[in-house]
Every structure is written in structure tokens, then in C-alpha cells.
Structure 1
Amino acid sequence: MIMEKSYGELAMFALAIAALLSLAHTNSEGDALYALRLSLTDPSNVLQSWDPTLVNPCTWFHVTCDSQNQVIRVDLGNARLSGSLVPELGVLLNLQYLELYKNSLTGHIPSEVGKLQSLVSLDLYHNNFTGSIPRSFGKLSSLVFLRLNSNRLTGRIPRELTSITSLKAVDMSNNDLCGTIPVTGSFSHLAAKSFENNSRLNGPELEGFVPYEMSCH
């Protein structure tokens, strides 16, 4: 009888610990998304439901969670948002879809986005992002779709991206990229139109030649 009670108490204790860990996890995700909200200007009030006092962000509009209340989608495409992204986004380790296309977002893309190893689709096209494409994107081992077109990105195309074996669709057109276009790994099947309208970007690399121009910034 004592043994049964002891096992029952242990089971309840384990469940309580699991619930607390889940709560802490979802709170950290909510904190990260609320940090994003604070960095954005939202004239259409699409983020009005993003209330940081709630237990988790799973009831917020434009946020999707899985059965464990972990954020897996953020859908804010064509939402008339301006402002910049925040490094706190790197907390969203279960995020699969980050859709922020067709807004007026500015500034650099945080390197912390490279921590999102569950990410399948990263759509940042038709914004005003500047700076280089983070080399940390090479760690996005689940990435299938990478669309960065129609921004003001500069610098080289990170060679780390070629090692993402899942990568199927890439669009970096209409930026200010420089250097040469990689042709190895996942980039071997990409069409030239994926890189068009980058006036400082040269043609595909030739094996055995130096892949970068020293003046490329």
C-alpha cells in the first residue's frame, strides 16, 4: 500500500515537472514573439492578439502550435509591417515556417535565425533587408524553401548553404549580391533566374578557380 502510494506520488511529481517545463518553454517562445512585436510597427493591428500575459502564444492570431504547444508557424506575410527582426527569434527551435514576405522590414537579418534547425520554409522576400546573408543559415539542416528576393542584401552568397541537402527552392534575385554563384551541393540544380538582377554577381563558379572576388563586400 505504501509502495503504491509512493509510485503514485512519483508519477504525479513527474507530470508536474513536465508541465512546468512545457510552460517555461512556451513562455520563452511567447517572450521571443513579443520581442518581435515590440520591434515592429503594425498599422493594421494584425498583432493585436499578441498578449504577453497569456500562458503561451498558441491562441495568438498568425501563430500556429503543435500538440505540445510549441510554435511551429509564424504567418505574417503581406501584413503591412515595418521595423526589424530581433535575435530572440533564435529561441523558436521548433519553428518550421517563418513567413514575413511583402512587408517593409529593414535592417540586418539576425544570425540567430540560423539556430532554427526545424525550419522548412524561410520567406523574407519583398522587404528592405540590408547587410549580408548570415553564414549561420548553413545550419538550417531541414530547410527546403529559401526566398530572399527583392531586398537590398549585399555581400557574397554563403557557401555554407550548399551543404543543406534538403534545399529545393532558392530565390536571391533582385538584391545587390556580389562574387560568384556556387554550383556545388544543393546549388547544383538551381536555375540562373534564382540569382538574376544582382548587378555585381558574376556567373557560376568554375571548379579549380578562386570562388570569391577580393573586392566583394
Structure 2
Amino acid sequence: MASFISISVLLVFLQCLQLTLSTNSEGTALHAMRSRLSDPTYVLQSWDPTLVDPCTWFHVTCDSNNHVIRLDLGNGNISGTLGPELGQLQHLQHLELYKNNIRGKIPEELGNLKNLVSMDLYDNKFEGRIPKSFAKMKSLRFLRLNNNKLTGSIPRELTALTNLKIFDVSNNDICGTIPVDGPFGSFPMESFENNRFSGPELQGLVPYDFGC
């Protein structure tokens, strides 16, 4: 009987240890993100790296297992850049960074967020290409990248995102042709306006992005 109780206590301890390590890992990733950002209005003031649990921080939502599932930093007057550490938030479902002054390239590592449902990066100063790695986010339904400084063409790999319902890249500097396969056949033309597109792809022809 005593042996059974000891094993039960050990299992509970290991489970708690695993949860703590996971929480610490997510907290470390979020603090690394904070270190890259300028926060003049103290939106991230509660992001204290000495606290074990990032679920106590403002603008961070966790599930019942203390995994970070949502970041709400939209319209926060935040500037700076994003780094690869965001890709470590494996349980993240919603990434809301819209209406800030975040610049630089969108990290390829965001493609590791396999559970992401929505990504709102619109109204920032992101530049460079849309990462091809986004094609790995099979749960993605909402991707809004409008009103940035993005260049290059739309990765054809994104046509495999069968759950994608909203895709908006308007008001950037994207060129090439607009995909028509997969979910792209249902997106309105307003989602692509004010770029340098040469038009939609022609059925049966291999797309070629002139000038991209």
C-alpha cells in the first residue's frame, strides 16, 4: 500500500514538474520577445521574467493546462522586431499584433505554430517576403497581413491551407500573380488591392513572377 502511494506521489510530482518546465519555456520565449520590443505605454509591464507562470501576465491567455494559447497586443503602441522565439509557443491559437509599429521581417519560425487559428499582423511596418513556412499551419483560418511593406510574391505553398477563410495582403508592395488554387479562389479582389500584382494566375499554366 505504501509503495502504491509513493508511486502515485511520484507521478503527480513528475506531472507538475513537466507542466512547470513547459510554462517556464513559454515564459522564456515571451520574455525574449519582450526584449526586442519598445513599449512606451507599458503594455508589457506585467511581463515579469521572475514569475514562473506567464499566464498571470496581462494580454496573455492560457488554457486549463497553463499553455499560452493567445497573445492580445493589438493597438498597443509597440515597436521593434519579432524574433524566432515566438515559434516556441507550440499551443498558441491566436496571435494579435495588429496596429503597432513592428518592423523587420516576419520570422520563418512562426510556421511552427501548428495550432494557430488566426494571425493578425496588419497595420505594422513588416517588410520582406511572406514566409513559405506559413504553409505548415494547417489550422490557420484568418491571416491578415494588410497595410505593411511586404514584398515578393505570394508563396504558392499557401494554397494547401484548406481551412483558410480570410486572407488579406492589401496595401503592401507584393508582386507576381495571384493564386487561384485551393482557398484562393474564394477570396475577394479587395484582399489583394494596392500591390503590384500582374493579375490572377491562368489555369493550366505554371506561374511565373515577373519582376519579383
TM superposition score category, shorter chain reference = over 0.9
Q: Deviations over 1:94-122 (max 9, x none)?
A: 00110000000000000000000110110
Letter in 2 for 1:207: Q
Flag the 1:171–1:204 CA change in 2: closer, same or farther, 3 A: same
- Kept in 1, the 8 Å contact 2:152–2:175? The answer is yes
Give the residue type in structure 2 aligned to 1:211. Answer: P
Matched position secondary structure for 2:149: coil
Matched, 1:163 2:160: yes
Match 2:34 to one of 34, 37, 46? 37
Q: SS of the residue aligned with 2:174?
A: strand
Counterparts of 2:142 and 2:81 in 1: how far apart (Å)?
A: 21
Aligned equivalents of 1:213, 1:130: Cα separation in 2: 18
Is 1:131 paired with 2:128? Answer: yes
- Return 5+ residue gaps in structure 1 as ranges: none
The Cα of 1:83 is off from its aligned counterpart by 0.1
1:214 Cα deviation from its structure 2 partner: 4.6
Selected match of 1:28 from 25, 43, 49:
25
Partner of 1:145: 142
Q: CA deviation at 1:165?
A: 1.2
The residue number in structure 2 matching 1:54 is 51
Partner amino acid, structure 2, of 1:79:
G
1:154 to 151, 154, 159: 151
Say yes or no: does 1:175 pair with 2:156.
no
| Change beyond 3 A, Cα 1:214–1:202 | closer
Shift in Å at residue 23 of structure 1?
0.5
Name structure 2 gaps, 5 residues minimum: none
Question: CA contact under 8 A between 2:153 and 2:209: conserved in structure 1?
Answer: no
**Paired residue type of 2:9:** M
How many residues in Structure 1 have an aligned counterpart in Structure 2?
212
**d(CA) in 2 for partners of 1:56 and 1:80?**
25
- Counterpart for residue 105 of structure 2: 108
TM-score, normalised by the number of residues in structure 2: 0.98
CA distance in 2: counterparts of 1:212 and 1:174, whole angstroms: 22
What are the Cα deviations for residues 65-103 of structure 1, in whole angstroms up to 9, with x where unaligned? 001000000000000000001100011010011000000
| Correspondence 1:205 to 2:166 | no
Q: What residue identity is the alignment partner of 1:204? A: P
Please give the root-mean-square deviation of Cα atoms over the aligned residues, in Å. 0.8
Question: Percent same amino acid among aligned pairs?
Answer: 60
Partners in 1 of 2:206 and 2:157 — Cα distance? 16
Q: Select the residue among 62, 66, 76 that pairs with 2:63.
A: 66
Q: Distance in 2 between matches of 1:166 and 1:190?
A: 13
What is the aligned partner in structure 2 of residue 85 from structure 1? Answer: 82
State the alpha-carbon separation in 2 of the partners of residues 19 and 214 from structure 1: 55
